[in-house]
Chains A and B, each alone.
Chain A
Amino acid sequence: MREFQPVPARPAPVKTVGPVAWARANLFSSIPNSMMTLFVMALFVYFIPPIVDWAFLSANWTGTTEDACVRDGACWVFVKAWSYQFFYGTYPEEEVWRINLMLGLLVLVIAASFTLPKHIRLKASVAAWLLLPLVGIAVLDGRLLGLNQVTTDLWGGFTLNVFMAAASIIVAFPFSFLWALGRRSEMPFIRSVSIIFIEFFRGVPVLSLFFMGSVMLPLFFAEGTNVDKLIRVWIVLIFFMSGYMAEVFRGGFQAVPSGQYEAADSIGLSYWQKILLIILPQVIKVSMPNILATFVMLFKNTTFLLIIGIPEVVQTLQTALSNSYWLGGHALEGYLFVFLVFWSSCFSMSLLARRIERQMNTDKRG
């Protein structure tokens, strides 16, 4: 009898592609393609140098006042002089460590949700996330912890955008899960209420919701109570977000095979045990990239808060632009700065989402 001898594994053949071969294959593969390439190159040559010149070479970097901007490039002095306000609004400078502390905690909780050991990760990170808004209010406001109170009209700048978005999505999280569950319910009443709610908040522009929050919501509170404007807006954002995230979760629910429900039923778990122990963790996991995408959307939408006079970063920028000491017309620099700050935070979140997605795909195969 012959013995089976497996052929030893060989390395895959190496594909050598030099830059010239690459360019020929991708940029000059045909006459129209080559013309297109040359045209785009010409555009670059024409536009890039003036931009570089304006933004860097003849830009004004040093100084603290309008008068320092003497060269005809960008006046980055403006951005520098206002950077505290852009980030922290009018929060008192000696208390700003509280904002930084909360930013640090936010980063810490995000990191923990991805790096904690697998068996405690879900429980620990859910608890940390749900505590975060409460801790945030306590720290930033200060009264509960015996610190000086910083009233909410002083909160502002880019960190306000971050905190509003984060605090809204966290509180919206459990609600949206319930809405998604309601939408799948077999009870017609619960199902229709959920559908109406979800579709209402998905179908209405967030701007009109903000107006409702600042004008209409007070009508629902008992007379005489003066609920903080920021809290009213927070409530609006929570509703808005839970409508969107309910749809994200609905997709997540559909990704969990029916066999999971059947297996949970067959070992006798109750409805809520089944949902919380078996289904929820899987739904969160598959929904993670979409949750992040929804968060990016919400985060950008927080700039609309300027319409109702909340001093988030764009509102702060407009205040700076109309300041009588800075009337040199620095809108371009200011908006470019806001653009860069938003773009870099949103882009890093997209990268994170993509990393999670890749990780999920390898998990599935493993």
Chain B
Amino acid sequence: MSAVKSSSGAEDIIVIENLNKWYGNFHVLRDINLRVKKGERIVICGPSGSGKSTTIRCINRLEEFQEGSLVVDGVEMINDVKNIETIRKDVGMVFQHFNLFPHLTILENLTLGPIWVQKKPKAEAEATAMQYLERVKIPDQADKYPGQLSGGQQQRVAIARSLCMNPNIMLFDEPTSALDPEMIKEVLDVMVELAQEGMTMLCVTHEMGFAKKVADRVIFMDAGQIVEENEPNEFFNNPQNERTKLFLSQILNH
């Protein structure tokens, strides 16, 4: 693991500089600076409302920002429609509430992007989709509708749906916090596997076991700022900031 960790020389696939964002008068992100190397796995944690979701949603332009710069895979994020489309094809996202399309079958959920965005032939898109369904271990559910699946299964479908677009970067926004305890593991397993294959990942999560196992860096946010970032062992065993210590004691002691 440590070999990958310090893969110095790898280019930065995400560069965020002095990013600031406001909702009206509310300064939600303040001077965010973050560089992510290709293949790096980053876990973002922090109290609710600290701006974790907003940060990663800026990366695929689900949110706009007012100041600073953000370059993803060499493409500068400006208000150009073409840029946004390029980025979105390159960045996959998994949401807390899965957000599968309820009126489409699992297979149709997976092939929609490849067919309509990447203009792939239907048969090819379906073949790829089946491969990914096998990877997340639910090929037998292909013809069901999302409402017929358990939460854990739905979240695995959501991951497969993103992977079908062949992204270079995957964003996860609390992918397991809406799941029953018995289903968390099946989703984390898929994510660990993905990490081991070298996907660049940014995960907002409070699953500390997952962070220790796969993260190259853990980032702690509070009040719209990055308070502390470190490699996982140091971060958990030797937090530098008082705020981080308080947060860790709260999530680890129950």
Q: Which residues of A contact B (CB under 8 A)?
A: 119, 122, 257, 259-260, 262-270, 273, 277-278, 281-282, 285, 363-364, 366
Contact = CB atoms under 8 A, between A and B. Distances in A.
A262 B99 CA distance: 8
Given A273-B116, A363-B147, A366-B147, A266 B100 contact: no
Contacts, number: 63
A363 B101 CA distance: 14
Contact of A260 (B85, B101, B161): B101
20 contacts: A122-B103, A257-B97, A262-B62, A262-B95, A264-B101, A265-B60, A265-B88, A266-B60, A266-B92, A267-B88, A267-B113, A267-B161, A268-B85, A269-B112, A273-B116, A273-B117, A278-B101, A282-B103, A364-B147, A366-B147
Residue among A262, A264, A265, A268 facing the most chain B CB atoms (10 A cut-off): A268
Interface residues of A, dominant DSSP: helix
A363 B148 CA distance: 9
Nearest to A264: B101
Given A267-B165, A366-B147, A282 B100 contact: no
Contact of B99 (A122, A263, A273): A263
A99 to B, nearest CB: 36
Contacts of B113: 267-269
Interface of B: 60, 62, 85, 88-89, 91-93, 95, 97, 99-103, 105, 108, 112-113, 116-117, 147-148, 158, 161-162, 165
A259 B148 contact: no
B62 A266 contact: yes
A138 to B, nearest CB: 33
A267 B95 contact: no
A268 B88 contact: yes
Contacts of A277: 112, 116
A273 B117 CA distance: 9
Given A268-B89, A364-B147, A259 B162 contact: no
A363 B146 CA distance: 11
Closest 3 CB pairs of A and B: A263-B99, A267-B113, A259-B99
A56 B60 CA distance: 73
Contacts of A366: 147-148
A263 B117 contact: no
B158 to A, nearest CB: 8
B102 A282 contact: yes
Nearest to B86: A268
A248 B113 CA distance: 29
